[in-house]
Amino acid sequence: MRGHLHPLTQFIRKTVKVFEKLGFEIVEGPEIETEWYNFDSLRMFADHPARDVQDTFWLKDGRLLRTHTTSLQVRTMEKRKPPVRILVPGRCFRHEATDASHETNFYQVDGFAIERSIRMSDLIGTLDYFVKEIFGKDIKIRIRPSYFPFVEPGMEMDIGLKRGWEEILGAGMIHPDVLKNMGLDPKKWSGFAFGIGLDRLMMLYFGVLDIRLSYSGDLKFLKQF
């Protein structure tokens, strides 16, 4: 019997190809992380709600299952010097109740670019190019201000669908303190960062209504792709 790629794998590869066209380097890292890389280096301090045991899978040795691929930002820059364009696709884990749009295991792609004078307009242009490559040239985007501790300013981006606006990602300009944690001078370097939930975007792309189907192993579901 001939096999084929899982819809998530297909969509991850499609996403990666888009960013490779823009010169992004693909980086992978450990799914078991330290508090420093996953939280502290990103300004998610001890009182941040994500650090609660109800939201994160903690291991007995004090490490954790990474809650986002953003944990690779500072780790990656320990071995690189700017200018850089980095894309980090991978699996993440969060301790939450499962339903049609939430899973304890999911895939995310985190991207960031650091150069001498990078701006918010560069970020928006990059993301606009991405969604048009995925959903077509006629797709509309909407930018809304938002807060994430590792960027300043922060934003969320929506895409216009027949059913209305759908939020697909969070992004922003890398916070000066995060740049310092990378060993960079924020007066000389600036950067942008974004995080995309690949499971939900795949669902929009293929018209899947329940995120749990991706992990069910149900051949009736998988054979459709």
What is the pLDDT at residue 214? 87
Kindly give the confidence (pLDDT) of every residue in the chain, 225 residues in length, as a single tens digit, with 9 standing for 90 and above: 577 889 999 999 999 999 999 999 999 999 999 999 999 999 998 877 766 655 889 999 999 999 999 999 999 999 999 999 999 999 999 888 788 777 889 999 999 999 999 999 999 999 999 999 999 999 999 999 999 999 999 999 999 988 899 999 999 999 999 999 999 999 999 999 999 999 999 999 999 988 888 888 888 888 888
Residue 96 counted as domain residue: yes
Residue 154 counted as domain residue: yes
Domain that holds residue 20: 7-222
CATH code at 156? 3.30.930.10
Greatest alpha-carbon pair distance for the chain in Å reads 58
Quote the CA–CA distance of 58 and 96 in Å, as a whole number.
Answer: 13
Residue 48 counted as domain residue: yes
Name the domain count of the chain: 1
Quote the CA–CA distance of 47 and 62 in Å, as a whole number.
Answer: 17
Which long-range CB contacts under 8 A does 128-134 form with residues at least 24 apart? Answer: 129/18, 129/22, 130/15, 130/18, 130/19, 131/157, 131/159, 131/168, 133/18, 133/21, 134/14, 134/15, 134/18, 134/201, 134/205
Quote the CA–CA distance of 181 and 204 in Å, as a whole number.
Answer: 36
Residue 89 counted as domain residue: yes
Residue 1 counted as domain residue: no
What is the pLDDT at residue 157? 97
- 3-state SS track over 129-146: HHHHHHHCCCCCEEEEEE
Residue 2 counted as domain residue: no
Question: Closest by alpha carbon to 86, among 126, 119, 133, 124?
Answer: 126
What is the pLDDT at residue 162? 85
Residue 29 counted as domain residue: yes
What is the pLDDT at residue 223? 85
What is the pLDDT at residue 100? 77
pTM: predicted TM-score of the whole model, two decimal places: 0.92
